Amino acid sequence: MSALADRAVGLFVRVHDATYQGTRGWIGHRIPGAPNSLLLHTVGAKTGLPRTNSLSYARDGAAYLVVASNGGDRRAPGWYHNLKAQPRAEINVGPRRFAVTAATVLPDDPDYQRLWRIVNANNANRYDAYQARTTRPIPVIRLMP
């Protein structure tokens, strides 16, 4: 992706995130041409402060699947570290907010490849491109109500 495209995507993500959070999920769950997104509410692992992130998700039965890709950065996103420290969290799917428990699924898990195919297909195969940018294994996070 070009630098201009990266900036445009970054701006879109910031505007979407602010809108989704600002409307408490009423606007932002579904955007034409993009995967559905949820709001993940965690507690900061270092600060203890509430944190909220807008993330695309896929479904696997009752589970909501999110990916700690951080765009293929060498570091995992902060929300992933928050969930590792405290797996109990809440999500908004649209305006509905409810409790979930997070479980990390890594490549050595027998279910990883199946879940990776689900999330990758849901996100137009972007996760394959992100994985190619980094040497760290990108986790799939299963959020169970």
- Write out pLDDT tens, residues 62-118: 999 999 999 899 999 999 999 999 999 999 999 899 999 999 999 999 999 999 999
| Rounded distance between C-alpha atoms, residue 27 and residue 130, angstroms | 27
Domain positions in the chain are 3-144
- The count of residues in the chain is 145
Q: What is the mean pLDDT of the chain?
A: 91
- Whether the predicted pLDDT of 12 surpasses 80: no
Q: Could you tell me the CA-to-CA distances from 96 to 5, 103, 137 in Å, in that order?
A: 32, 21, 31
Query: Considering the domain 3-144, what is its CATH architecture?
Result: Roll (2.30)
59 confidence band (pLDDT: 50, 70, 90): very high
Question: Model-level pTM greater than 0.85?
Answer: yes
